[in-house]
Structure 1
Amino acid sequence: MSVLSRTEFKAMIGQELGLSDWIEVSQQRIDEFARCTEDLQYIHTDPSRAAQSPFGTTIAHGFLTLSLLSKMVLDMPQVAGTTMAVNYGMNRMRFISPVPSGARIRGRFTLKSVEEIRPGEIQTTTDVVVEIEGKDKPALVAEWLGRRYFGDNS
């Protein structure tokens, strides 16, 4: 993972920041997410019953795939002087294809814009595509908003 100055980071607008490492979405991960969120729908948690569904197997929750963006973005270049980064929201987000249990996914990140909010705070807009290994269609596409804070207020 590289560290960019704020000037270098802003120069990346319109460019791909990179690809995250692959993350396996195991049945154990899906089951733990189901328990945590209390979304125990059979298409996520019951392999026998899910085998009879249109998906043919258990699939990850869309929100599990979305939540893994927080891990994926750690593989992207960091911005020097950042003291804190937070999720600010999504302008757009769509679940395009289901992620089957056992599949591997990764994020492709493209910096769309950087906006100065106030001294020491910027807002980033990043286009994200979560790819499923071996599949043509992505799991999700999103326009992700983030805020970064800098200790020097510049």
Structure 2
Amino acid sequence: MTLEVHGMTEIQQLAGKDLGRSAWRTVSQELIDGFADVSGDHQWIHVDAQRAAAGPYSKTIAHGYMILSWGVPMFAELLTVSGVGRSLNYGVNTVRFPAPVPVGSRVRLHASVIDVQPVKNGGVQMVRGFTFEIEDCTKPACVAESITHFYP
């Protein structure tokens, strides 16, 4: 279920809130190949199924940054913000990729709002905790702190 907040005051009240989990997404070879084309990262472990079959994971794996890029749409499944003039992705504090994501796996986002602080021009900075879970795996695919600015 998507949480809806309106305006700067309600955004500030999210500090410390667990937002739950997004829907699962399947990691297909088509998505991996498309990300390789867009990013220019055609390393064999991502795009060469025959070579990857003899590699350490027995199949191709998703790019870590592909999984991280899913943070924006998956987060939107958990939280919608209205009553602001604009929002900007400001950056990332930390990113780690503890486990590979083999093709065919399913991934979902577990998100929280770690902190919300005022910034210049009447805005607020939201630090979001992202943990990308892999179905039936004890280690996450990616753990990150993503920063978004909201302005009136």
Q: Deviations over 1:99-149 (max 9, x none)?
A: 111111111111111111135411101111000111111001011111112
Tell me the distance in 2 between the aligned counterparts of 1:76 and 1:83: 20
The more displaced of 17-26 and 115-124 is 115-124
Q: CA RMSD in A?
A: 1.4
CA separation in 1, counterparts of 2:57 and 2:85?
43
The reply to whether residue 34 of structure 1 matches residue 36 of structure 2 is yes
- SS across alignment from 1:125: strand
Deviation above 2 Å: which 4+ runs of structure 1? 5-12
Q: 1:7 — aligned with what?
A: 9
Give ranges in structure 1 of 5+ residues lacking alignment: none
The match for 2:137 among 135, 138, 143 is: 135
Would you say how many aligned residue pairs link Structure 1 and Structure 2? 150
Identity percentage over the alignment? 39
Consecutive unaligned residues of structure 2, counting only runs of 5 or more, are none
Q: What's the CA shift for 1:24?
A: 1.3
One-letter amino acid of the counterpart of residue 141, structure 1: V
Equivalence for 1:96: 98
Contact 2:22 / 2:108 at 8 angstroms: preserved in 1? yes
1:39-97 Cα deviation digits (max 9, x unpaired): 11111011111011111110001111111111111112223312322211111110111
Q: TM-score, normalised by structure 1?
A: 0.90
TM-score by length of 2: 0.91
* Residue 121 to residue 7, structure 1, CA distance change in 2 (3 Å): closer
Q: Secondary structure at the match of 2:85?
A: strand
**Which residue number corresponds to residue 115 of structure 1?**
117
Which residue, out of 48, 66, 69, partners 1:67? 69
Amino acid at match of 1:79: V
Give the corresponding residue for 2:20: 18
Higher helix fraction: Structure 1 or Structure 2?
2
